[in-house]
Amino acid sequence: MKIGIIKERKSPPDRRVVFSPQKLAELQKQFPHAEIKVEPSDIRVFKDEEYKVLGFELSNDLSDCDILLGVKEVPIEALIPGKKYFFFSHTIKKQAHNRKLLQAIINKHIDLYDHETIVDAGNKRLIGFGQYAGNVGAYNCFRAFGLKYDLFNLPKAETQPDKQTLISKLKKQFLPPVKIVLTGKGKVGMGAKEILDAIKIKEVSVENFLTKTYTEPVYVQLDVTDYNRRKDGKQATKEDFYVNPDKYESDFERFSTVADIFIAGHFYANGSPAIVTREMLASKNNKIKVVADISCDVAGPIASTLRASTIAEPFYGYHAGQNTEIDMYHPSAIVVMAVDNLPCELPKDASEGFGDMFLKYVIPAFFNDDTDGILKRALITHNGNLTQRFKYLEDYISENNEVPHN
């Protein structure tokens, strides 16, 4: 079996990679029969030489590889027919901008495994960059607060070498006794919590957060039943919420009237109620000054997320009364951070962590006849067709299907 590490070709450039040189060496040690080639890249966070000194072949020709590993979408013209590809295709939610990509993958008889579809038997995702989105999102949140109120000027996360440096920078800043509300207990939420805990911000209970005044910064981490309630007044449970989201409405206003900063790291499903409405933010009782929407669902559950922002320009202002974007320094502006590719700002840590997961959960499946069904569940296309699990994409790929065969 020949594995190829492809260079990232999407613009803007992404410096991440599936395997760091050290993790690739671990793979080689565990599975000595695997042959590995690395496509040279001048943007990757790890230099070509770092792979070369560990004995890996560098080559611009990966046509003899069976499996090709990347992070972001591969441009159609760069796809090699008949190969097995792993990357984030951003097609499984029928994203219109990538329809032609999936059409081309089918026409080129490529086996596509999307990192997002690598799940266990209980349909729980096994690999991803969520933790690092949470790390950077929390850092950016404090950076926005410091700029808005002229308290401190933190450097951009992308200019720093690793997560520990971000933590060190944050520890040096003085924070007033703000109240921070964090939603989500998945990888994103826990990634944000990791930063809050590392800089010694005190975690408090929901009841204390809502009722007590503090002389130091504090935060509360919420699960779905903390900020959603059943419309009929019956007892809310997580299980019921996930099955019957339409029977729920937001109960977030009790937090928006006491919190200064909102870090959004929740999972948002179709049919779920809005979480933070324009009315909440426009209310004279609203206290939220910064919204760090790590989940970044545009026109989704958080009214202030009018658009995704960028690593280059991560912040914008939101005027709740007018429901419009304004300058972040305007007196009425709530500062919004809604970068949708946050892990790109922490490429070294993100790549190392991703490689840990990929080596643990995915690579063994190629050598044990996919005993746990990891590959079978993740496979989207095979032999020029959608697999059974992804037949729901038929109507998506049939629209404007004019991609030529190669």
Tokens of 216: 């130091």
Task: Given the residues 10, 90, 156, 185, select the one marked as catalytic.
Answer: 90
Whether 404 contacts 107, CB under 8 Å: yes
> Burial of 239 by CB count in 10 Å (0-12 exposed, 13-18 middle, 19+ buried)?
exposed
Task: Given the residues 72, 84, 115, 179, select the one marked as catalytic.
Answer: 72
Binding-site residues for NAD(+) sit at 223
Q: What is the rounded distance in angstroms from the CA atom of residue 187 to the CA atom of residue 191?
A: 6
Buried b (16+ CB within 10 A) or exposed e, 297-329: beeebbbbbbeebebeebbbbbbbeeeeeeebe
- For the question of residue 72 being annotated catalytic, the response is yes
Long-range contacts formed by 196-204: CB under 8 A, 24+ apart: 196/138, 198/167, 198/170, 199/167, 199/170, 199/171, 200/171, 201/175
Q: Are strands 334-337 and 290-293 parallel, antiparallel or unpaired?
A: parallel
Q: Which residues pair with 386 in a beta bridge?
A: 381
- For the question of residue 187 being annotated catalytic, the response is no
Q: What is the rounded distance in angstroms from the CA atom of residue 119 to the CA atom of residue 377?
A: 7
- Report, as residue numbers or ranges, the catalytic residues: 72, 90
